[in-house]
Amino acid sequence: MRRRLSTAVAAAVPVGFVTLLLFIPYVLLLVQSFWQLRGGTIVHHLTLENYRRLAGTALYPETILFSAGIALRVTGLSLVLAYPLAYLLAYKVKRHRTLAYMAVIIPLWVSYLVRAYAWKIILGQEGILNGLLLASGLIDHPLTFLLYSRWAVILALTHIYTPFTLMPIYAVLEAIPPSLREASQDLYASRWQTFRRIILPLSLPGVLAGSTFAFVLSMGDFLAPQLLGGNDSALMVSNLVWSLFGVAYNWPLGAAISVVVLLLTLLLLWLAGRIERAMGYSGQPGHGAAAPAGGRVVGLTNSQR
């Protein structure tokens, strides 16, 4: 009885924290999305008008799709940067591996606002990049297209969220048993074959987790588009919700858009979980993938065996 009581008390703190600060606000947000705005006053009358307006006005679906496109680009670039770096840290760096890993994630210790403003200083007309190009004689006038564009937003978000993509990939790569790679070499598999049939399939859960982090975080980002985006890039879904809540005072419509984005995020997380459970850590979806099977490596051809 004492053990059960201590367990219940220990569980009550995090459960109460999540319920008070997450679950209840989400429920209130859902309820508020069914209210109306009449004459600048919020009327507590349940209706689907906000969702009909959301679906019937081209601005809102286009903004959500535009934000998803930015998030997809950021996710792709983050994977291109994070996976090779995680591979190097896991298998190539022998000495001072922990120090190298800390050097990769140390930008997370710096304020998000400082990192976003740093890119504004770098890409500005009188910024560091234009200064270097002018000093080297490559250009005669400062480049104006670097800042206040969607590519500036993508560049900044890629820099900010690449460590979030790297961490799960590195954790999965480091957890792959060295015996699998050694068995692959004993079976005369080349380095490329070892990577393609063993390392890559077994690291897919980490790739999936890192991609989910990058997509979800960049999809809901607010500050980088506000500071670095132009007239089109600044209007991402988070900025639209902020304008509805803070400027237009249309809280019900802003709540409806927030609920739709939340449902899309939950759907993405559910799909990611289903894909990860389907793959497991055996790499079975890929043809000829290697998997641990009683200490053996499967998936190699008969000639390689």
Angle between helices 150-175 and 200-219 (to 10 degrees): 150
What is the structure's pLDDT at 253? 93
pTM for this predicted structure: 0.82
What is the structure's pLDDT at 232? 59
What is the structure's pLDDT at 299? 43
The 10 Å Cβ neighbour count of residue 273 is 13
Identify the segments of the chain with pLDDT beneath 50.
281-305
Instruction: Judge contact between 207 and 270, C-beta under 8 A.
Output: no
114, 119, 122, 127 alpha-carbon torsion, rounded to 10°: -80
pLDDT digits (tens, 9 = 90+) for 32-55: 999 988 888 888 888 999 999 999
What is the structure's pLDDT at 280? 60
Q: Which fold has domain 37-297?
A: MetI-like fold (1.10.3720)
Instruction: Judge contact between 263 and 219, C-beta under 8 A.
Output: no
- CA gap 129, 119 in Å, rounded: 10
Instruction: Judge contact between 189 and 148, C-beta under 8 A.
Output: no
133, 135, 140, 145 alpha-carbon torsion, rounded to 10°: 30
- CA gap 157, 155 in Å, rounded: 6
What is the structure's pLDDT at 286? 40
Instruction: Judge contact between 32 and 249, C-beta under 8 A.
Output: no
Domain residue ranges in the chain: 37-297
